[in-house]
Structure 1
C-alpha cells in the first residue's frame, strides 16, 4: 500500500443505476471496434476489445492500447464511474466546497461523484495525486462500494490474506465471492499490486457480462443461437430467452473464436454468438461461444418463479428439502424438454427442471421435466412422508417443507389437516410431493365390490352379499387396464376398488386385475391340498378365491413360514402374479375370530387346540375366559373337547368361546 493512507467509508446499500453511453471522443464513427496493434494474443484481448466496443475504455494514437500500463487512482475512478453509466452526471456534479490535489486537472467531477456515492471520502479527495497508481485492494473496495455489495470477509482464503488491511477485507471478500476479481497464481491476492489496463477492463467487463450493471444505454449485449443468416443484408438473427433479435455484421468484422478469428461469411445456423451492437443493431464486436456452455455443477427442483428483470432472467427453484434458491440465468441459456428447444414462456411454475450452472453460479442450461400429477387416496400422513394409493399400488413419498395444500384448488389448508381416506391430486417429482389438492375426504379406505349394472348417473355394486346403488360424481375417475375410461366401459362382474366423497357419491372406480395386484383382507378359508387355495374377504365383504403358486413366499413378522402355519381368520396381504398368490404376508393373527372343533384341552397350561379346516392350532386361554352357548348348562373348559366352537382371540389369547 506504500506510504499512502486513504480511508474508505462504507455507505451501506447503493441503489442500482443504469449505464449511460460515454462519448469520450466526440465525432468517432460507430463501426467495428477500434483495431489495436499491441493486444493480439494477450490473455485479456477480448475484454479489452469489448470495453472498447462499449466506448468505455479507449486506446491511444497509433493503434496502441497499452494493455500492461498501470492504472492511476484517478483513471480507475473514471473507468468505474463510466462503467456505471454516470459519465454525464459526473460532468454536472457540483464541485463547490471540494478540494482536490494540485496535480488533478481533469476528472474532478468523477472524483466528486465517487465521494458522493461512498466510493471515496470527501476528506480523502485532496490526497488523490493524479499520478498515484491504484492497487488491487483499492480497486476491489471501490467496486464493492459502487455496487453496494455486502462485505464478505469469510470468502478470503488466500495465502496472503493477512497482508490485506483489516478495513478492506470485507470489500475484497465481496468481490471475490461474486467472482469479479480473482486471485493470483499461488493462491495469492497481492493486495498492494498496481492494476493494469488489461486487468481493469477484465474486472469491469465482468460487471456487464454478468448483468451486475447494464451496458451503455446506446449499446446492447446480445447473446444467442443463430437461427437465420441473410448474407445480402449482412444480417443474422439470434434467438435467446428474450426472443429473437437481428444484428448487422460489417463484412470486415473479425469474429473472435477460442483459437483466432473468422469472417461473418463463415457463420452457420445453430452457432452461439455474442455481439455488442449499437441501437441500430450494427455490431462493433462479436465472438463465437462454445456450442454447449460449460457446466460446472447441476441443481434441480420445482420452478417457483422464472422472471425477467432489469438484470435479465432469474430462476427460483424449490428443492426436495423445501429450500428455495434463486439463480441468475444467461440470456442464451439452452432450454430443452424432451430434446425440443423451448422459449422462456414455456417454463411454468410447478415444472420440474434440472439446471446447469456455470462456474460463477449462472444458469446456462435448463432441462424441463413435467411433474407427475397423481390422483390418489391418502393411506397415511406422517411428518414429512405421505403414503398414497393409486391404481392399486401404495407408495410412500417425501413431502417438501414448503408443500402447498389446498382444498378443491381454492381454500388453503394445512398439511396436517389431511386424513386417511382423503382423495387428493398430488404434484410429485423424484418421489417428493410439492403440492397437494384435497378433492374430498372421509371415505372408506378399503372399499371393494363387484359391478352389477351401470346407468348414466349411477353404478350398482355387490358389496358383500348386498347390491348397492351409488351416484356418480361429475368428475368421477374410472380406471381400467391402467387407463382412464368412461363409466360405460365397466362390465358386469368386474371386481373394483371404489371411493366415495362425503356425500356418498362415487368419485373413483378402479377395475382390479384378477391376475395381478395386491389386496388386503381376512383369510376366510385355506385349503392345504394340491394346489393350495385361499378365500380372502375384503373389508367391504367381497369374497375372492385364488390358488397359491408353488414356491409362493409366506411371511409373518418378516420371517418365512409355511402355509400350514397360517391361521384361517388372520388378516393378510396377498400379491397376485398370473392369477395365483405369489406372496402372502400375515398382518395380524393375534386378534381374530376362528371356528373349529376342540381337538384337545390342557387345563394345567390353559391351552386349547382347535381343528380348523383339517389343521390343528393351539392357543393360550385367558384366565376368566367367557364360555357361552351349548345345550343346557354351558360346559366348562375341561369338558369342551369334541365341541364345535367359535373362539374370539385377543392379543394372541382366547378371551371368549361360543359353543355351537
Structure 2
C-alpha cells in the first residue's frame, strides 16, 4: 500500500465494509460513551473524542477493543493532521483510478494517493484490519517520517517483515508507538480502537499534529480556579496567563483516572483542549492530592479574602493566596468558621482578612482565621519581596512579603512604604501579611504638579516611579535650595523636594533639595527593547533619536493615568520619560496614544505564511495591514490564535512600524458574518461554516432563529444544504438569522 514498499504480504480480498456513515459513526450530541468507564485507555479515548479526532457509535458506544481497519486509521491520521476538510473536498474530484466504497472513505483514499503513501492500484486492501506493523507504515506515510536506519530492538524483531523494520524503528524512536512487556512488538497483532486513541494522543503530544489541532491545546500551570463561574487560569511560562471557561461536558483526568475540578491543585501542570467555542472540554495532568476526609478528597488554601459575595442563595468567597493566585469557591451552607477558639458566623468574614479554607466536594466546608503575631518599629530596609523593621529596643526582624500583602494606614500601597516609616506588622508563617503605616517618613521626589485652587496640593514622583498627591497646609513654608523662603506657587515641576507632614497629614514644610532634579525628556516612541536589559528609543521634537536604558521595575502610566506593562507601549506613542540620577528611565508617562491603533470590522483575513488583515473603519474605508510574525491575539483578556478570528468581528489592532503586533477581538458574539456551509447537525442544531480565510467555525441556532432561502422565504434547518453561501447574524454567539446569498 505504501508506494515502493510491500506492506501487505498477500493481496487481501475485499472485506465487509463498514456500514457506518463515516470512519466512526457520529455520536449523538452530548451523549456519554457507556463502554469506556474503567477501561485502561479511557483517558486517551476521552481526549481524542474531545479533540473531535474520533467519535463513538450510535447508542453511546465506542467499542474500544474492536479492530480498526486501515481506512479508519487513515481517516484518523488525516484528522490529527488537521486536513479533514481537504480530504472531504477531494471526494468530489474525478481521478483516473478506481476508488472502492464506502463513499465516506473516497476523499481519504485520494488524499493518501496524492500524499504518495498509497498505491492507487491496491486501494481495496484498505478495508481490512490494520496490524501493528501496518500502523507504523501508515503513520510514517501520513506524518512523512523517514524510515529509521537501525533494526528494531525487540525480541521478536525477526517476525517484523524487512520492509517494515525501519518504519517500526522510526515510530518507536519518536515515542509514537512502543512495545509490550517482555520487549516484544507483536507486529502481526491487529490494532484496536483503544490502542489507536493512544497512538493519536502521542502524535499530538510529540508535536506531529497539524496546526489546527495544536491550536486547540494549551499547556501551563494552574494559577487559579473559579469554581463558581467554572473558570480556570493557567500560567503560560513567560507568555503570561490564559483564562478559559470550562464547558459543561468538560472531562478531567489525573494519573489517567477520571477526576473532578476540585481534584486539581494550584501549580499542577496540565494540558487543556478547547472546542470551537474556545471552552475547555478536556484537562489532563498528574494528580497531587492534598488529603482525605472520611474518604473524601479535600484541599486547604490560605490567603487574603478579596470579597464575599452572595447570589441565588449561595455565598462565594474570593481569595488571593500567598503566591498572588486568585480563586473563587462556593461556601457550603453548613460551613464552620473558627476565630481565636470561637465559632463565628459567615458575616464575620471581611475583605482583607487572612484565612485558611478547606475545600471538600467543590465547596468551602471550613474557614479558619490565621493566627498572627505583631511587631512595631521603624522600617530599615524594604524591597519588593522583603521587609526589615527595627523596634524601640533595637531588635530587627526580617520577613518575606507575599503578593497579597495588605497595607493600611497613611500609605495604601506597599511600593509607597519608605525607609524610616513607623509601621505595625502582622506576621504569619514568616510572612508580613498586614502592614499598617502609622507614620510616614519625610517623603521625597520630583514635583510633578501643583494644585493652587481650593485646598492646595502637591504631587511628587518618588524614586520607585510611583506618584502621590499630598494636601498642603495654607501656612506651608517653602524653602529653595539656598534656604530662602519662596511662595508655594513659585515651585516648578521637575524640582526635587522633601516634604514634612503635620499630625493631620498635611504638608507644612517643603524643602527644595535639587533645583534641577534628575530631569525628563519627551518624544515619540521609535522602538522598544524588551530582550535582556530593557531600553526605549524616542524621537524628540527636533527629529533626533536617542536610546535610554529602562530600569526593571519601571512605572508606566497610560494617558488615563492607569498602570500598564512596559511591553504594552507601542511605537508612535508620545511619552514623557523620567530619569534617575544614572540617566536611566524609572517612569514613563504616555501623553498621546493617537495614531498607534486602528479599530473596525474584520473585512478579510489571511492566515498561514505572510498573514494580513483588512479592516473596515467606521468611515467605510478599508485598509490592509500585514501581520508581524511576533504578533499576538486576545479575546476577553485571553490569548487566542489567528485562525480563531472571525471575518466580521469587531477588533482593535496595534501597529509597530506599520505592521500589526497585536489584535484585540472586542466583539465576535454580536456580529454579522458570511461563509459557506460545510456541515449541518440537525439533532444538535449546529451549523459549521468555512469563511474566505479558509478557517471554519461552528455555531448553534438560537431559539426561534430566522432561516431564509435566496428568495427570502422561511425554511427549516433540514432544508439547509452544504455548499450554500450564507450570511449569519449572531446574538450572544448564537445564530439569530441566516440568509442564503
TM-score range, shorter chain: 0.3 to 0.5
How does the TM-score come out when normalised to structure 1?
Answer: 0.38
By relative contact order (CA 8 Å, sep 6+), the higher-ranking structure is 1
